[in-house]
A and B are shown apart, each in its own frame.
Chain A
Amino acid sequence: MTSQSTTSKDSIDATRDDGKWLSAFYDPVASLYTFSQCITLSDINADGDNKLIIADLGTGSYQMKLKVYKGTNLVSENTLIDLPTGVATFYMDQNEPRTPAVAVASGPYMYVYKNLRPYFKFTLPSLEINPLEQDVWNQVRDERIDVGVLREMLEGMRAEGTSLTVRSLRFIQLQAEDLEAFANQYKHTPLKKQTVITSLGTMKKSLAEEDAISCLVLGTESKQVYILDPEAFTVLSTMNLPSVPVFLNVSGLYDVEFRIIVACRNGNIYMLKRGTKNARSCIELNSQPVGLERMGKNIVVGCMDETLQCYTTKGKKLWTIKLPASITSMENVDHKSKGFKAVMVALSNCEVHIYKDKYLVNIIKTEDIVTGMKFGRFGREDASLIMTTKGGGLIVKILKRTAVFEEKDATAGPPVSQNIKLNVPKKTKLFVDQTMREREHCVSMHRMFQHDLYRLRLDAARSYVKALETSMNPVSTNTTEPLKLSAQVQGIGPTFKLTVNLQNTSISTASFNLLITFQFDDRLYNIHKTYIPVPMLVPGLSYAFETFVDCLSDKGISDTIKVFVLRQGRSVPIITAMISMPVSETMVVV
């Protein structure tokens, strides 16, 4: 396998956006929430002027709209009932003038608009219902079993891995008292099992011309791919996949020969051919795909691990590129008049990289993270790039006619960082002298050091024992009472807030019967709660106890306050914290 890994980091300077793109339009507040799949460019009025069609996801729950822009003006808005998952335009008949229809995939339906007016609604064929499930609901309808049994049966079926209808799933979720009402309300309507469209594509039917009649290709949540007839809206063929399709790439003609490359939710890429019912497994990725494009005979996949990978249709890996940030969107660039084909990758660091084969040829900097892109003819301009941003903005850029993309590997040779010298300070003469001294007197130095070390150990041990005896430690060393205490003072005075944080650091044993009290100079301070009972301490959690402290003196003096954690019935504190109180601020007259 010839896999090659290159980094694009060092080549950035060579490929900066040096005026290849004209900035045509930027509206940071276009309030568009959409993705590449829901953007398309098409001449829907047959007037030679390509419109921008965007299915806007609105807020994600309402205000979904199908928006059409002529130039930069919004010319039409159609309300959508459900979240759109894809938009495509296709020619459905031979009528003149040649106006394409707009297909919007949304939930289990495919809405077809013609001349921007609703024209047809296609519903996905409903799925086969599990006979046992049907039987159970029938029995409920005939009141042969009660809702409790129904629920048990359904739960049992789900546990076995049977895929249930939406109604049954909702029924299982309900609280016990709502079951009866729900069953009564719905038991008389027939049970239906529907799926939703996940991805949308088009495929020419029998002619390869630009305005030939096209079929719609739908990927569904039920792991199937449907091909629809454009005139009668009947299912021409159904194909099965091992997993749920997320990206479709279609090529070829339906009546001659076609290939559909499908990226699925299980991280595999499958290939569908004319005449086959089941998919052929093609590529197993090592990370989830976030974009799929076809370049000639190769497949380019953007993955979640910030890589761009290229495979042949046979499944052989050609190259891998590590990207500087994670991918948000991918788009195919096909500039026919120049014969330029490339892949555009939008990244989460506000950049759009253009790759011709594995070479980075251009970087576009944007003001915001790009989430949707479309390259193609917009208005009368052949090479336009439409981008929507995370913040809801709309950017239109036009490729200059003089722009030439240089195709070269900018990363040849050793990386630049190899030539930077490390700043290592020189060894001074003093250091050499001292080393000489060390070499000459090594024995006496070592003896001296060991002698001092014993004394120091003794000193440390003495102080440590003294600290233990007086429990002068904010962290308990006692294994039976593993507690940690920290105290903070907040405020500027004369009233301070004293927060005592207590944490049980044991693994499993809780602490009981503890209390917190304070030692302080009562001429200087007044503590509101001098006794704080501590509830049971669950291991690992930090408990905060608060009290107010009034400073009684205005002389600008401060003292320490000791916080004790005690066990009830024992006079020796478990742990102690010392708080140096800050000087209290007095009234300031300036």
Chain B
Amino acid sequence: MVHKVYALFLALLLASCGPAASPSPTEQPTSNATAAPEPAVTITFWHGQSGVLGDRLNELIAKFNSSHKIQVQGAFQGTYDQLYQKIVSAIQAGSVPDMAMVSGPPQTAQYWKAKALIPVQQFIDSPDGFTADQLKDFVPALLNDNSLPVNGKQTLVSWPFSKSLALLYYNPDILAQAGVQVPKTWEDLKAALITVKSKTTATPLEYTPDVYYFFLPYLWSQGGDALSADYSKAAFNSTQGLAALQYQTDLVLADKTAVVTQGFDWQNPFAQGKVAFAVSTSVSRPFIEQAMPSDHTFKVGMAPLPAGPKGAATDLFGNNLVIFAKTPSDHQRAAWLFMKWLTDTDQTVAWSLASGYMPLRVSAQNAPDFKAAAQKDDRVLVAINALTDGHGIPGSPDWQKMQPVLGDMVTSALLGKASPKDAITAAEKKVNDILAGQ
């Protein structure tokens, strides 16, 4: 089984590396006449990729090192949480690496607040960077996800690398059996779950009740938001927020069409064909397919999250890259050149096909390897098409304090411990306390 997966990844990687192995003109698309020569330095890169993805990342690093004077030393530092702990420790000790992976905007905001980062914008505006036109090749939602307000101006502080988003997973066999279509709106989904419950023996929906999978996308799709635009106040205690909480409470408590699980526990029953719908990140697919019994396989269905009156919305997950302020400037520049190379069309396609994360550039979607992959399997495009609806997780340095409050809000409503109205009011007060610095 593992061999199969390895072989699959390897085949995809070889296929995508084929043309790039020879020096290709696309390697340095912005080779700018005024750019200084490349510094011959060794930089350290702390990341959180292990297992198969870690191997693929190491291969990319090796490829970079073999064709550049800059040498990158990648170091796996554990899960995103452990990586964060190590970076916080390193900031205390004044011994930060040159660059690192961060799990999302809240962590970036934390490091930024601690004055530990140098904004990527500085390099984008330099001769090593991009022109406004070239920058347009990157999906706007991704650039937003990496920007923080600096002196009132949205500034790119981090740079995207491995991005995924929340999607609706479904089992087409169960949907056919129940005679339901892939739902387009939240109301469609609610009705489809009831039909599945009455016509099949499958569990209609399994999901993990954290704030990301239902509450935020639903809220956004109604035109609501979690926090005020300047991150100074809670904004979710609104008719939209209440509707978002009421919706999932109805599924679990009234319709009894949704079952609550922990973490990624839903993946296994889903893989065994016992669950009709699930909500998860776009990178879950290979893991579902791996867990499928060989005598009972099905084609995992993937669709964008259902839409509300203001269209569809989904949250951006995955990781971004940052450069630290406390390292020499030639190291910082080297780190930027490596980051930029990583998101060149060739590399972003290779990484996307190997990992299941999305390619970050519009041009990547037209790259031959990617087109070929999409032709073979159109599900590759589902996540990319949903990218325009992507919302970053709020880039407030205090988000990590609010996340458990919102999690408890959802849990207490789903368990019937508090009415949605009471739960949301209590959470609003706590979040406002946090934002007011208590």
Do A and B pair up? The answer is no
Partner-B contacts on A (CB < 8 A): none
Partner-A contacts on B (CB < 8 A): none
